[in-house]
Amino acid sequence: MVTTFNQKDLTSFGEYLLSDERTQRITSNLSEGDSIPVKERLSQIYHADIENWKDSKSKVQKVRAKFSCNNIESNEDYDNVMIHMSAVTVEGQGENADYSKYTPYGNLEIQVDNNTLGKSFFKEGKDYYIDFTRAKE
């Protein structure tokens, strides 16, 4: 696959290479005992830099919604449970009101196998954040 970048893209990538965001990413990914100093790492360009830059070009990195677990149905025939959730809807002020404003409607049903930790994670009446990020192509 061939990807073409214009002058604006190359300038943007150069700005990313010099950014605090990149420095913070490299610094936070160091593990104890790394023999390559941060300054040396910053002087190199890595494939991860290109991918991180492309991700940062997107205006919206993720959308977070807040859902409430309404019902958990047991399905003994298939050894799983069906989790029923809906977007929080609250008027007024506070966190739920903010989520209700931006993600005012939504329903989600997911099946979770009885033999996984996921089954015990969900509880009726509890709220959950759901983060949507664009999948890599």
What CA–CA distance (Å, rounded) separates 119 from 78?
14
List Cα–Cα distances, 126 to 1, 36, 83, 94, in angstroms.
46, 45, 12, 17
Q: What is the DSSP letter of 38?
A: H
Give me the phi and psi of 119, to 5 degrees please.
Answer: -60, -45
| pLDDT confidence tier of residue 30, bands split at 50, 70 and 90 | confident
pTM: 0.55
Sequence ranges of the domains in the chain: 7-57, 62-133
Of all residues in the chain, the percent with pLDDT exceeding 70 is 96
What CA–CA distance (Å, rounded) separates 25 from 86?
35
